[in-house]
Amino acid sequence: MYKYLPALMLTILCTACGAPATREELPDAVPGYTPDKSTDEAGLWMHMDLMEEQIKTSGQLVRDPELNRYVRDVACRVTGPYCGDLRVYIMRVPHFNASMAPNGVLLVWTGLLLRATNEAQLAYVLSHEAGHYLRRHSLQMWRDTERKSSLFTVLNVIGATIGVPGYAYDIAQLSAIGGTLKFSRDSEREADRLGYELSTVAGYDPRQAPLLWEALVKESEADDDSEPWIFFSTHPHTKERIATLSKLAEQAARNSGDDALGEERYAKALAPWRGMFLRDELQQRRFGRAEVLLDRLIASGRGLGELYYYQGELYRLRRADGDQEKAQQAYRQALRYQDAPPETHRELGAVYMQSGAAQQARAAFQRYLQLRPEAEDREMIRAYMEQLS
């Protein structure tokens, strides 16, 4: 079970409540702003500060300096003068989400990093969350919650999860909570438009925003689990949103060169981590969603050896009719590329062994041991080879 709690607590409060009857208009945030200690906004910041301390000690925090530097650089590129107010935290959670607290804490989940296929798509999501931050939507929702006298309930829900051993918490229950604690549609429209403007002014291809949303909708439609993603609980994925972003993109034609997309930079930054993120994804056993995701990543044409290996892993784990043959085909396809993990030979050997192809299985196991002579499972593999001979 993943330790979702620190990220989810912040998401819940940052997306604090349903649409208010009368929406409070606030001046935009300014760089370097901090609220007066006597205000209710200072109370909101205090809760965010306490949760930030929880995040800093979370076992799910990705601390790699290079990856954090890269994500922060993208965030700074789209937020400009607000860069000094940001603290970026990458959370190892295999779901698509990002959130930004009113005190400048920007959470990025690894499921988002896995699904964005270029820097422009990541930039749009970060710009969208920055839009909520700049327009102070969290404070609007916070005050509406207070007016509805339900703030105590929200804090109780969050406080009750703090003592859960290992931060284990049921993702479906938190998704349900997220469904009732969300920004208003007006706030979402504002964040969409402002996010589009911020990312476009920063030089990114605006056409990537609707493309990312369309890809997420396809994954959601193919999902094996009836529970919605947290991101879709708090960010309505309507046709209106995709149509609006597509129209905005048409009005601001951009070239599709690498600077507008950032494909090379993004691939380089994610390369050391993508395998881990894919393993985390498959551990969710939501194979319909994962299959659509892998097909899309394979279509991007980058790191195909690694991607075909994990496609084989998907079929091996799913075990539906015909999946053994599909797994074998995917593993063999992976081995056509230099970046195929050595484990590809091991898994291919296991598939061959199950199908009775002893000679091919033994050759695959032997190649695995040549590539990984110190593998922890080497004795088991040697036992298989003896059995096959």
pLDDT tens column, 56-80: 998 999 999 999 999 999 999 999 9
Residue 267 has pLDDT above 90, yes or no: yes
19 and 56 fall within a common domain? yes
Distance CA 59, CA 349 (A): 35
Contacts of 292 (CB under 8 A, 6+ apart): 218, 219, 222
Residue 210 is predicted with a pLDDT of 87
Residue 322 is predicted with a pLDDT of 95
In a domain, 269, yes or no: no
Q: At 100, is the secondary structure helix, strand, or coil? A: strand
- Give the CATH number for residue 341: 1.25.40.10
227 and 343 fall within a common domain? no
In a domain, 78, yes or no: yes
Residue type, 221: E
Tell the residue number behind the tokens 């096959």, with chain if given.
388
Residue 256 has pLDDT above 80, yes or no: no
350-362, pLDDT tens digit by residue?
Answer: 999 999 999 999 9
256 and 281 fall within a common domain? no
Residue 156 has pLDDT above 60, yes or no: no
**Is the CA virtual torsion 148, 153, 154, 155 positive or negative?**
positive
Distance CA 106, CA 90 (A): 8
* Environment class of 69 (CB within 10 Å of its CB; exposed 0-12, middle 13-18, buried 19+): exposed
pLDDT band at 48 (very low <50, low <70, confident <90, very high): confident
Bridge partners of 62, per DSSP, are 90
* Environment class of 377 (CB within 10 Å of its CB; exposed 0-12, middle 13-18, buried 19+): middle
In a domain, 266, yes or no: no
Record the tokens describing residue 69, joined without a space.
Answer: 């530097």
In a domain, 304, yes or no: yes
In a domain, 325, yes or no: yes
56 and 81 fall within a common domain? yes
- The two beta strands, 105-109 and 87-91, are parallel
Q: How far is CA 261 from the centre of its chain?
A: 19
pLDDT band at 44 (very low <50, low <70, confident <90, very high): confident
Domain boundary among 261, 290, 305: 261
Side-chain half-sphere of 320: how many Cα atoms within 13 Å?
A: 10
Side-chain half-sphere of 294: how many Cα atoms within 13 Å?
A: 25
- The domain of 291 spans 275-388
Domain boundary among 261, 295, 315: 261
Mean pLDDT of all residues in 326-352: 97
248 and 298 fall within a common domain? no
Contact 111, 291 (CB under 8 A): no
125 and 168 fall within a common domain? yes
Domain boundary among 261, 290, 321: 261
CA 2 vs CA 121, 159, 169, 288: distances in Å: 25, 19, 8, 20
Residue count of the chain, please give it.
Answer: 389
Residue 162 is predicted with a pLDDT of 33
253 and 292 fall within a common domain? no
171 and 61 fall within a common domain? yes
Tell me the DSSP string of 250-310: HHS----SHHHH-HHHHHHHHTTTHHHHHHHHHHTT-HHHHHHHHHHHHHHTSSHHHHHHH
**Full 3-state SS string of 25-74:** CCCCCCCCCCCCCCCHHHHHHHHHHHHHHHHHCCCCEECCHHHHHHHHHH
Tell the residue number behind the tokens 């970046």, with chain if given.
339
Bridge partners of 108, per DSSP, are 90, 98
237 and 365 fall within a common domain? no
Residue 311 is predicted with a pLDDT of 98
Residue 185 has pLDDT above 80, yes or no: no
186 and 318 fall within a common domain? no
In a domain, 180, yes or no: yes
pLDDT above 90 as % of the chain = 55
* Environment class of 153 (CB within 10 Å of its CB; exposed 0-12, middle 13-18, buried 19+): exposed
Distance CA 154, CA 165 (A): 21
Residue 141 is predicted with a pLDDT of 77
pLDDT band at 27 (very low <50, low <70, confident <90, very high): confident
Residue 170 is predicted with a pLDDT of 37
In a domain, 231, yes or no: yes
104 and 217 fall within a common domain? yes
Residue 314 is predicted with a pLDDT of 98
Residue 150 has pLDDT above 80, yes or no: no
- Strands of the 87-91 sheet, one edge to the other: 61-62, 87-91, 105-109, 98-100
Contacts of 26 (CB under 8 A, 6+ apart): 135, 136, 139, 140
45 and 141 fall within a common domain? yes
pLDDT band at 159 (very low <50, low <70, confident <90, very high): very low
In a domain, 202, yes or no: yes
Contact 80, 134 (CB under 8 A): no
Structural domain count of the chain: 2
